[in-house]
Amino acid sequence: MKLPELKASQIWAIVLIGYLIPAFIPLGMNPVISQATQTVYNTIQSLPPGSIVMCGGGGVFAFDLESSAGLIPAIQQMARNGVKVVFYPMWIETMQFNKYCVDSARVDEKYGGPWKYGRDYVFLPYIPGNEVGLVSFMNDVKKTVSVDYAGTPIDQLPLMAGLNSYKDIKLWICAEWDGVTILRYVTGQYGIPVMWFAQSSAYAAYGSYMSIYPGQIYLTNGALGGAQYEKLNGITGLGHAALDSNVMFTIMFVGFLVLGNLTMLFGEKNVNRKVKT
Amino acid sequence: MISVDPWVWLSAILTLCSFSLLYGDNKFFKFAEYTFTAVVIGHNVVMGYFTLKSGFNPLFTGQKLLLIVPLILGLMVIFMVWRKYAWLAAIPMAIIIGVSQGITVRALVSTDVMGNVKAVISEGSNFFIGNPTDIVGVMLRVVFTIAAVSYFLFTFAFKNTASKPLEYLRILGKYVLLIYIGIYIGNQSMQNSMLATSAINRLVRNWLGFG
Amino acid sequence: MSTMDSISRLVRTRITQIVIVVCLLSAAAGYYFSNPQLDAFNAELNLWNMDIVIFTLFIGLITVFFSYSKSVSARTSEWPFRLYALVLIAAWIVMGLYSGLYSDTYQTAYLSTKITLHIAILGQLIFFYLSAMYRTFRVKTLRTGILVIFALAMILLNSPIITSNWSPADAISYWLLNYPGMGGARAIVLVAGVGGIILAIRILMGLEKSALRATGG
């Protein structure tokens, strides 16, 4: 029996159907909490009320959407526990991403939440220069940034009174694509722990930093880690939606892999050849 | 229930225009492409304006007049777009390159290079500590790191008999990198899957109101 | 050679190299040596660097404006789309300056256009990814076999359908990523770090001119 090669358009049609199924009918997959996600949750939970946490990095919004699944429940957790957050945008889209996450978390008093702008959280303006801006900020906050996103002098914001340099920062949370810059400088040069809600590919590529700075850096694994964090905070969101489609993706991946190899075996002449490895 | 929000409709139309590329290059995809380009440039300009206001606030309020120098240097950067006067942008670009490279290199030395070397050495000295899976794992980690690094050693040619062990180490390194790339591909695919989920959910749930 | 050409040549070669050396050495030395004057100089230099970088955000507008307007006036192919893009850029700038970066209007517009498009463009990759995988992940050699096995392992062990029905899955995937997988990850980070250091040395010595090519250097 000769297996035909599937055309690209046929594969795409199957993939589209595969992703439409969980979109129309949620499968209700339940995440299993991993050790790394639990550690990140416990670290944030253990912060005393009034602690100042920096949240930021440099990212592309579309990629960072994956890690927003973890950041949004983390913002809710910090708001519940009285932790103060300063949002630090290192790339030009990060400002919009930070606002998206805070609005989605609905922690501001305009949504009935506990946070008041200026007292509990502050949006800094875009700080250019990437690592140069970061180093300048860590050494002297007031010299690097004089106003917030809206042009209000930071001296007029109560939260910024307690933030002068890296010595006042308890923890740095990163949910952005360029988290490795944060790891290199914030932990590497200033010794501040970093919790990175990493994208899946970043988790694979930069997990080694957890062994360079053991106990100071923890990464969660993309949308799956985000789903786990949502479960720890008792909410469902993008992470849970990603779980359902992940199931379909797994089925399609295995299916196409097996089909491709069967096509290789039965779809053409099976030629014996020695291949140098 | 289908959405009546015009922004949701715009979002859905643009998503469908983008997905139309699967059918082939067409006018709808071009419309989406040029919309993307225009919004990116527009956002850069808006962001640039507000960042100028905040960044040069000490100059505008008279607190720090020295900032006139980076203001002039910054204006010189813009001459990069004219070939005849592009040389004016050389000095500010040199400042950008010099400072960023100087700050980058100190992080690379202390974290990426020395940090990893220190981690390998400390793990090598703790080979037999922990439960059996951890011991095996740490051994694999140390040996695999050394093998994979040796794969990138192109400075030396391995030709004589004495270099045979190094040649085998390089071959092991090649397979170690293949293991890592396989793991990376697995994780990367989950990332792409999530983005497809987001795009399709916006259409099905936000726009059409299902799910 | 005219006076302007001589000045431009001097700037592009000698002066640029001197500026790079001073900035690079000062920024790097500031981490290893504690000196109040050096720290103050570096702090000022960092601020100047940040302020100069802001102006690079406007270069895209100038480049696209000249390129697209030339195309529109010459009526080349795609000129209607380019005209539309120019109009949209102008409208977007006016909207952004009027409403502000953090306003709900701007945020909604940004999410509904650029972010939606970016997610859709990146999300499409899964289609190409799976069709390419169907064709290329065919186990003909040991190398492909290893690649396929570990990719499959990560996907299966992270899949909720496996993790919710088989408890060791999460621990196994964590072990694979943090022990055998980390060998390769570490090597790449380490070697890339060495490459970055060598690049900085080459820039310091004036051997690497690619970054300044746009300025005629």
Assembly ipTM: 0.87
Residue B173: other Cβ atoms inside 10 A: 23
Query: Other CB atoms closer than 10 Å to residue A121's CB: what's the count?
Result: 24
Give the three-class secondary structure for C113.
helix
pLDDT of residue A274: 47
The pLDDT, as a whole number, for residue B156 is 67
What residues in chain C have per-residue pLDDT under 70? 1, 214-217
**Predicted local confidence at residue A273, as pLDDT:** 47
Which pLDDT belongs to residue A271? 47
- Give chain C positions within 8 Å (CB) of B104: 196, 200
**CA distances, B57 to each of A75, A108, A166, B96, C43 (Å):** 30, 28, 23, 21, 17
Q: Which residues of chain A are modeled with pLDDT < 70?
A: 1, 268-277
Give the pLDDT confidence score for residue A36 in this predicted structure.
87
* CATH architecture of residue range(s) A35-236: 3-Layer(aba) Sandwich (3.40)
Task: Pick B188's closest partner by Cβ from A130, A151, A200.
Answer: A200
Distance from CA of A199 to the nearest CA of B (A): 7
**pTM here?**
0.90
Residue B157 — φ and ψ, nearest 5°?
Answer: -100, 130
What is the rounded distance in angstroms from the CA atom of residue A187 to the CA atom of residue A218? Answer: 11
Contact assignment for A249 to B190 by CB distance below 8 Å: yes
Nearest to A228 by CA among A77, A47, A35: A35
State residue C207's pLDDT score: 87
Name residues whose C-beta falls within 8 Å of residue B199's C-beta, 6 or more positions apart in sequence.
B15, B19, C116, C119, C120, C123, C124
Domain ranges of chain A: 1-30+251-268, 35-236
| Range 132-171 of C in CB contact (< 8 A) with B | 133, 143, 146-155, 158
Q: What pLDDT is stored for residue C102 in this prediction?
A: 86
Q: Name the 3-class secondary structure at C34.
A: coil
Which residues of chain A are within 8 Å of residue B197 when distances are taken between CB atoms? 19, 22-23, 223, 241-242, 244-245
Place of tokens 């159907």: A17
Q: Please tell me the distance in Å from C75's CA to the nearest CA on chain B.
A: 17
Tell me the pLDDT tens digit for each residue of B116-133: 999 999 988 877 878 888
What's the order of all strands across the beta sheet hosting A171-174?
A121-123, A84-89, A52-57, A171-174, A194-198, A217-221
